[in-house]
Structure 1
Amino acid sequence: MATRVHEFDWPDRVVIGTIGLPGSRTFYLQVRTGSQVVSIALEKQQSALLAEKIDEILDQLTAVDGNPFSVPSGTPVELVDNDQLEPVQEQFRTGTIGLGWDPTTSQIVIEAHPLTDVDAGDDVASPEVDSTEAAEKLLVRMPVGAARAFTQRTREIVGAGRPICPLCGHPMDPDGHICTPPGP
């Protein structure tokens, strides 16, 4: 089976957004170029880790003598995107995510693959599905300024969820919280 690749080389928009209320939000990575829009679902933790790792890569690049890739240390104001997600048609739920750097184009590269039976924790994959090759994937290349804006927005979206209990560290619901502080 051939892999369908949703590829975006210089996207107009790359954002993390959510649908739903805190406590039951669904996170989406949404990419758009012109009229082509792809939305993939991911977990809150995947979103947070993606932003963290992108910032780590960018911070390492700024430390290179002379900053040859012109990586901004902060988010360029003109690239801040606080708009809502465009209408979402979920392409797939994300399993594994690869992250890299392309020095020839000075872009962050994100490669996302669908959740598989193996990713979900099943011991045996379905015999009808070749688990060695995904049916589709998302491949995004974004410039360094857009990557900084992406990480800023992602951190804000992740942080906009339920408040964390200072005693037990678990999220608190608006209708109550049963706190079980950690033991000694």
Structure 2
Amino acid sequence: MPTRVHEFAWPDRVVVGTIGVPGSRTFYLQVRTGQQLLSIALEKQQSAQLAEKIDEILDQLSTLEGNPFSVPASTPIELVDNDQLETVQEQFRTGAMTLGWDPTTAQVVIEAYPIADVDAEDDGSFEEDGAEVPEMLLVRMPVGTARAFAKRTREVVGAGRPACPLCGYPVDPEGHVCTLPEV
């Protein structure tokens, strides 16, 4: 059965945002082109690593002689997006992700796949009647949009619970019992 690809080649908007309060937030990668809107759930660590790796790719590309892909050193002000997520209807929870670069279009490419539900009795085949179609998200974004995406994602990840200055563990709104290591 072929994979259903949710493709966004030049998205109007691509952001990471959250729903919930720090300590119990759900992270979403949300992408929109025109009326087509898709949201997938991510782990906080996946979001952080995605932003870090996008910046690494862009930083490497900007060091090429003459910066042939016009990679901005910082986020272009016109691409800053601090708006809330749009209506979220989770398409899937992300398992594996890949990140790449397409030099023919000068775009960062993100592929996201759902967490695989492996059943003990499943032989890996799909039945024609009622079986779920495998799917993936494919997002291609230009370098300025990618830089803005990475910046916003780092800010969203960093907006969680503050760390305890003594033990480094997160401090909950209800309080914190510090567990200092024994010396």
- 8 Å contact kept, 1:117–1:126: no
- TM-score, scaled to structure 1: 0.91
3-state SS in 2 of match to 1:54: helix
- Deviations for 1:29-86, whole angstroms, at most 9, x for unmatched residues? 0000000000000000100000000000000001111100000000000000011101
Alignment partner, residue 122 of structure 2: 127
Give the AA of the match of 1:156: E
Identity of aligned residues (%): 74
Change (3 A) 1:39 1:125: farther
Give the AA of the match of 2:164: C
3-state SS in 2 of match to 1:74: coil
3-state SS in 1 of match to 2:31: strand
Query: Map of 1:32-71 to 2, 5 A cutoff?
Result: 32-71=32-71
- 8 Å contact kept, 1:61–1:69: yes
Gaps of 5+ in 1: 119-123
CA distance in 1, matches of 2:142, 2:69: 10
- 8 Å contact kept, 1:165–1:171: yes
Pairwise CA RMSD of aligned residues?
1.6
Change (3 A) 1:183 1:129: farther
3-state SS in 2 of match to 1:46: helix
- 8 Å contact kept, 1:117–1:125: no
3-state SS in 1 of match to 2:169: coil
Change (3 A) 1:126 1:167: farther
Change (3 A) 1:33 1:125: farther
Change (3 A) 1:177 1:137: same
Give the AA of the match of 1:93: R
Change (3 A) 1:125 1:71: farther
How many residue pairs get matched? Answer: 177
- TM-score, scaled to structure 2: 0.92
Alignment partner, residue 121 of structure 1: none
Gaps of 5+ in 2: 127-132
Alignment partner, residue 87 of structure 1: 87
- Deviations for 1:115-148, whole angstroms, at most 9, x for unmatched residues? 1146xxxxx65506549xx710000000000001
CA distance in 2, matches of 1:145, 1:126: 47
